Amino acid sequence: PVMRAAGLQIREYPYFDAASGAVRFADMMSALATAKSGDVVLLHGCCHNPTGANLDTAQWAEIADLVIERGLLPFVDIAYQGFGEGLDADATGLRLLAEKVPEMVVASSCSKNFAVYRDRVGAAMILAKDSAQADVAMSQMLSAARAMYSMPPDHGAAAVRMVLEDAALRADWEAELEEMRLRMLRLRVQFAEALRRQSNSDRFDFVASHRGMFSRLGLSEAQVERLRAEHGVYMVGDSRINVAGLPEDGMDALAKAIVSVLD
């Protein structure tokens, strides 16, 4: 919706295999290979939303090579840094691209990892070919900002800046972020194990290997509706779940409800 609202023409590329819970990387690359020079390719830097399935380092390298070969402009959306493999590791793909490609756009958000969702704190960054192109890009970004909000509220950004510039506060923040990351990993493992117990299969084992706040379970809209109607279990229609909201003391009950609506 955001891209269409900006007036851009949208083409989707395949990404997620709901049956296996894996990235459809070969299909993704085949689709990207049809893109034309100057096209923008939107990529999630880590903790893919809504699937939870992420690219590995080798796949990022292949994407970088393809971007260069086809003359594409990567646009990296990194909204959940720190919730996957860790604050530094989650930027691996982004850094790899930045080292290889001549131009790149990055949208970074502090909404989740600083818990300032209502304050819309983040940064728009552009890697340009040279200083002249950087000046042009900055002029366009300032013009767009002027048309949208002119001067944004500062309190959210000021709070984030205070944390990042103070060594003690930053250490506390990083420790709390790591605690939340490990909690979500623990919930993933517990949920996958409960689903294995209730289904007597490995169908949902991929949940444990996914990273970030979300996973998509591969249920149909009809199955999701049955969960709501028959068990009072609510999730998005495409079967995306928020891992952070999983009940540690009710994993088996939740898993049993999910298994009951499977074909």
Q: So what CATH class is 183-260?
A: alpha beta
Spell 105-141 as b/e; 16+ CB within 10 A means b: bbbbbbbbbbebeebebbeebbbbeeeeeeeebeeee
Which pLDDT does position 2 carry in this prediction?
85
pLDDT at 1 over 90: no
Closest CA to 90 of 56, 45, 23: 45
Which pLDDT does position 164 carry in this prediction?
98
Cβ neighbours of 185 (radius 10 Å):
17
pLDDT for 235-263, tens place per residue?
Answer: 999 999 999 999 999 999 999 999 999 98
Q: Tell me the mean pLDDT in the region 136-153.
A: 92
Sheet (strand 73-78) strand order: 40-44, 73-78, 104-109, 122-127
d(CA 117, CA 242): 16
Q: What is the phi/psi pair of residue 125, to 5°?
A: -130, 145
Locate the domains of the chain by residue range: 2-165, 183-260
The tokens of 139 are what? 């002029």
Least confident of 3-12, 26-35, 254-263: 3-12
Annotation: CATH topology of 2-165: Aspartate Aminotransferase; domain 2 (3.40.640)
Q: Tell me the mean pLDDT in the region 73-101.
A: 98
Burial (CB < 10 A; 0-12, 13-18, 19+), residue 24, is middle
Percent of the chain with pLDDT over 70: 100
pLDDT at 152 over 90: no
Which pLDDT does position 63 carry in this prediction?
98
Q: Please tell me which residue, 150 or 182, carries the higher pLDDT value.
A: 182
Confidence band, pLDDT 50/70/90 cuts, at residue 6: confident
List the beta strands (DSSP E) in 22-133. Answer: 22-23, 40-44, 73-78, 104-109, 122-127
Q: Tell me the mean pLDDT in the region 169-195.
A: 98
Confidence band, pLDDT 50/70/90 cuts, at residue 86: very high
Is 139 strand, coil or helix? helix
CA distances (Å), origin 231, targets 29, 119, 192, 195, 259: 40, 35, 19, 16, 11
Confidence band, pLDDT 50/70/90 cuts, at residue 148: confident
Is 87 strand, coil or helix? coil
Confidence band, pLDDT 50/70/90 cuts, at residue 219: very high
Confidence band, pLDDT 50/70/90 cuts, at residue 31: very high
Q: What is the mean pLDDT of the chain?
A: 96
pLDDT for 98-143, tens place per residue?
Answer: 999 999 999 999 999 999 999 989 999 999 999 999 999 999 999 9
Degrees, nearest 5: CA angle 156-80-41: 110
Q: Please tell me which residue, 153 or 204, carries the higher pLDDT value.
A: 204
